[in-house]
Every structure is written in C-alpha cells, then in structure tokens.
Amino acid sequence: MKGLIKYLVALVLVTSSGVYAAEALPLAQNPVVETRLNAISENLRCLVCQNESLAGSRADLAEDLRREVRHLIESGRSDKEIIDFLVSRYGDYVLYDPPFKSSTLLLWVGPFLLLTGGLVGLVLFLRRRSRQGLVDEEDVPPMQANAAPVVPVPRGTGRWLVWLIMVLIPLGGGLVYLNVGNVAALNPANVKPAPDPNVMVARLQAKLDANPDDPAGWQLLARAYMVMNRPEDAVKAFSHIQPEIKKQPPLMADYAEALAAAGDLKGAQIWINNALKQGSQDPKVLFLAGGLAFEGANYKLAIQYWERVIKIVGPDSQEGKFVQENMAEAKARLK
Amino acid sequence: MKRFWWFLIPLLVFAVLVFFLAKGLTKDPSYVPSPLVGKPAPTFDLPQLQDPKQRFAPEDLKGRVWLLNVWASWCVSCRAEHPVLIDFARTHPDVPLIGLDYKDQRPDALAWLKQHGNPYVLSAFDTDGRVGIDYGVYGVPETYVIDQAGIIRYKHVGPLTTEVVNKLIDPMLKGLK
C-alpha cells in the first residue's frame, strides 16, 4: 500500500488543473529529501541537547538546522558538502563519529591504551602470583574444625582460565564495537551517512544499459525514478519492459502513472483502459482511472472509480482518506 | 621495599583519575569550541532593527575592531548580561557594539531595548536565524570580537561578565590596536 501513497502524491503533483497543482509540494513531503535528511541528521549531534541527534531533537535550533539541511539537499548538495557546511560552523563536535586527527587522538586511542595498560598489569600480577604459588597462604581462610576440606584448584586450569579471559575480553570488546560502532569513521573521507540515491540510481541505470535483459531491474529503476520525481526517465525505463507490463495490470498502472506524470495523459489513458479491460481490481488502476476522468472533467466517472478504490482500501486507511479528499473536490466541481 | 612500590601504582592511577575528573568538573559541558575563530566573519546583509529600511553588513566596519553580540528579547541570560553591555558601551566608545537580534519579533525587541536601555550602535534583525547558523550560534547570548581585517578573534558563549570583559576582551582589544 505504500506504493499507492507514493503514487497518489505523484499524481497530485502532476494534475495540472487540480486544486493541488496551485501549490508546490511541501518540502517535508518529498520522500527522497526526507530520507536523506534523516540519514544525515542521525549522525549529527544537536548542540542544544547534546545527547540527542539532530534528527531526534525538538530544540528550536535543531529544527532550524534541519530546515537548512533540507534546503541544501534541495539545492543538490552532496552529503559530504552538507556535513562540511555544519562542521565549518559548529566544529567536529557536531559529528557523532569524530574524524581521526591530532585533537581527537586521545578519544580514539585512549581506550586501547587503557586496555593495554590493564592487560600488562594483569600479566605482571599473575606471573608474580604464580611464581609464589597460585594461592597465597594468607588468602586461605582459617580452616574450621568441621568444615569440608578446601578442594585445591589444579594449577593448570586456573592459568588457562586467565588466558581465556584475557583473550575473550578484548575480542568481545572488538566484536561489540564492530556491531555498535563505526570503524569507517576513523577516516573522515569515509563518513557517508547514506549512499547518495542519485549515484545509486545512476549505477543501476548503467548496469541495465549494459545488460538490458532484466525486467525486475528495469521495474526497480522506474520506481526509483518516480520517487525521485523524474517521470520522463521512469517512462524510458518502463519502455524496456513493455511485454511484461502487458501481462500485469498493476504494472500497467505504474506505467500509466509515469506517463501521466511525464505529461502524456493520452498514453496513460490507453494503459489504464487496457488494465480495466482485463478486469483489474487493482486500487491503483482504479484510482488512476478516476484521476484521468477527473482530468477530462468527467467528475461523475471519477467519483465512481474512486468509490471503488475506497471499497478496496477501506475509508479509514490513509489512502482511503486521501481518495475521499479528492472525491470531495470532484463533488464540488460537479455542482 | 619492592612491595612498597607496587602499592604506589594504584594510588598514582587514582591520583591521575581524580585530576582529570576534577578538571572536568570545572569545565562547562555546554561549551562547544568554535571553528570560526581565526576565520573571516561570515558576511551578511540584514535590515536594521530600529529602521528596517537601513541595512547592515559586516563590511561596513572594515578597518575597525568591533563586537557582535547575539541577543533576543526572549533570552533570559541576555537580561543578565545586559548591564555588562551597557557598561561596555559607555567605557569603550571606540569599539562599536553591534547587536544581532536573533529569531525575534520586531515589536518585542524594540520594547525590550526601550525597557532595559540600548547599548548597541545598531542591531541587525535576523528574524529567521539564518545568519545565526552561519555564525554557529547555538545558545544566545554569544559575543564575537572581530578585528580590522574582519577576522573573528574570539567567541564567547553565554552571558558576558565583567570578569570576562576585564580579563579576556580588554587585553584582546588592546592587542588589536
């Protein structure tokens, strides 16, 4: 159902004559921007409430900074540029993963120094003890008359246990760090909170261009383009898998959505008609059919289709509410 | 004798630990060192608080040593700092004290200055706080010392006190002249 929501948002974007078209999509609703914003701000510290990340903080300054990061994403800056923007103003302090340099040397190396010191101390201490015998005479509590005799610990076992602990503790610490920590942050060049979606999509495109016989790949690429608000590229991607689309009405709806978003309402209508002819009950097909009818000023038909959508998705679901809003608009137009 | 030395080691470790913990207690955990010190003051062009038609840009004060004080009418610590600023303006007529009214409403800010007195030559009006972000402002009040070349020489986070002015800012201003 998540796909439907995304698609609904996209459709609202492209309905050129609809009421919604008058206002630009609020920044907060652009899923690509929000995903990147979250990924970036998760790794940054809020300066006001220092134990919270920039993503989680409700402090006024955090909201301002998120707004600023959102603008930077919108203006096409890379994650690194955005992080540099904040570091140049607030210092390395905003990074939860500080880079490895002279001022953070103690931070990174300190724990290992302490660990080494502790281990060396432990070894020296144990060696001394084992030279004196495993248990000092003073350490043994005075025997009581009727107490069970103390079972002597064999020397070998004790020593093995010590070595085992000495290996296990650093090993365990290392494993915990590998899971919880971020080793890559040692090198500031590696600090990339999230892979840039533009780069990922470009890679996928190149891969598919070289090896076009991959319907699932093209489908993924087309969907990514739709989320990124690049419907023309989505249409191009879909055009590689026309035979698959013809077999699956939900795919037809995806394709029609891309066509409509790219401005080809006629093409979208053809595919939606195809899907309807096959008796599709896919809510997306029905919603698009309604949307196209709405575009053609056939509000009655639009309402009929949308009512069917609501029957499928339920009036109280997020999608249902959205469709109801559109229906109210269509009804208003009817009068 | 050897035993004696062994006993000393934990004591030493303990002393080192106490030293660092004690040092940590004297530090303000909310203080974040600014990377802007030693760098050119970020430029901006903002309307003035008292006369929105007039504008202020840091370039206007090129060639002079001046103070930029970030304040707001909603800021409680600014109230505590205010007498120090009034005093500073009176005793330092040669050092322009410029206000940056941060995320404030114009009527509130004007009423605040009227009630408590206006130590500023002028205040730039940064209503959406964007200039504040460029200056790395994270807690009002903050004060910047900017030299003739427009380089930030010092940043003070939190309310200025007479002690800070006497011990830190005055010697710095003297050195800059």
Interface contact flag, B36 A89, Cβ < 8 Å: yes
Return the pLDDT at A263.
Answer: 86
Q: In this predicted structure, what is the pLDDT of residue B156?
A: 92
A48, A60, A89 ranked by CB distance to B136: nearest: A89
pLDDT at res. A23: 41
Rounded alpha-carbon distances, angstroms, from residue A118 to A106, A113, A131, A134, B165: 17, 8, 20, 20, 46
Number of C-beta neighbours around residue A318 at 10 A = 14
Give the rounded percent of residues in chain A with a pLDDT score beyond 70: 79
* Among chain A residues, CA nearest to B31: A47
| Average pLDDT of chain A to the nearest whole number | 79
Average pLDDT over residues A56-70: 88
The residues, ordered by sequence, that sit 6+ positions from B137 with a Cβ below 8 Å of its Cβ are: A61, B70, B102, B129
- Taking the Cβ of residue A122 and every Cβ of chain B, the question of whether any pair is shorter than 8 Å is answered with no
pTM (two decimals): 0.55
Q: For residue B139, what pLDDT is reported?
A: 84
By the CB < 8 Å criterion, does A127 face chain B? Answer: no
Sequence-ordered list of residues with C-beta below 8 angstroms from that of A137, at least 6 positions apart, any chain = none
Judged against a pLDDT cut of 80, whether residue A193 lies above it is answered with no
In the beta sheet, which residues pair with residue B54?
none
> Do β-strands B66-71 and B97-102 pair in parallel, antiparallel, or remain unpaired?
parallel
Residue of A nearest to B134 (CA): A89
**CA separation, residue A117 to residues A11, A174, B15 (Å):** 64, 17, 16
Q: pLDDT at residue A22 above 50?
A: no
Closest chain A residue to B129, measured at CA: A64
Structural tokens at position B61: 């004060």
Spell out the per-residue pLDDT of chain B, length 177, in tens.
566 677 788 889 899 999 989 988 887 777 777 889 888 999 999 999 999 999 999 999 989 999 999 999 999 999 999 999 999 999 999 999 999 999 999 999 999 999 999 999 999 999 989 999 999 998 889 999 999 999 999 999 999 999 999 999 999 999 887
Other residues' Cβ atoms within 10 Å of the Cβ of residue B138: 24
Tell me the sheet residues that pair with B99.
B69, B123
Which candidate from A48, A65, A93 shows the least CB-CB separation from B133? A65
Q: Greater confidence, B102 or A31? A: B102
Backbone angles phi, psi at A58, to 5 degrees: -105, 10
Facing residue for B133 by CB, picked from A64, A87, A92: A64
Range name among A22-31, A171-180, B22-31, B104-113 with the lowest pLDDT average: A22-31
**Which two tokens mark A133?**
């015998």
